[in-house]
Amino acid sequence: MPTPHYGQPRYRVIADQLRERIESGSIPPGSLLPTESALTSEFRASRGTVRQAIAVLREEGLVTTEHGRGTSTRPITLGHDSKQAAKSDNERFEIAADADIAKLFGVEIGTILIGQQQVHRRNGVVESVVRGYWLHRPGQ
């Protein structure tokens, strides 16, 4: 399969895509990555290529590999290191209340609420995702 990014090795492309998933929170801190065989199928790459991609992420400190368990993203650490660069992304959106949220707010299912999500990263690694909701009021 041709490399979609000319001049960039296939394992780097795979590492970039996995890094993006980790940083976006799609693969949460402390959770297992898909198995090597699942990644070989998804990316249509050899096991060696997938292993090289995982090695890149391991060298960057984004993942750890345990024999017999698999590869997981680094869990969140609560210590503060002033040398690490912190970044937050904020996103506001409208959402229709599902059954759980409607019950909490005491509104009907489907009522429009305002949501806000903050993704906090340190050195490109997601540390936390905070999501809040409030009732939609005209003019907000």
Which CATH number is 10-73's, of 3.40.30.10, 1.10.10.10, 1.10.640.10, 1.20.1260.10? 1.10.10.10
Q: What is the pLDDT of residues 46-82, one digit of tens each?
A: 999 999 999 999 988 889 888 888 898 887 544 444 3
Sequence spans of domains, the chain: 10-73, 86-135
Q: What is the pLDDT of residues 8-40, one digit of tens each?
A: 899 999 999 999 998 888 888 888 899 999 999
Q: In what order do the strands lie in the sheet with 125-135?
A: 86-96, 112-122, 125-135
Percent of the chain with pLDDT over 90: 29
For 120-139, the DSSP string reads EEETTEEEEEEEEEEE--TT
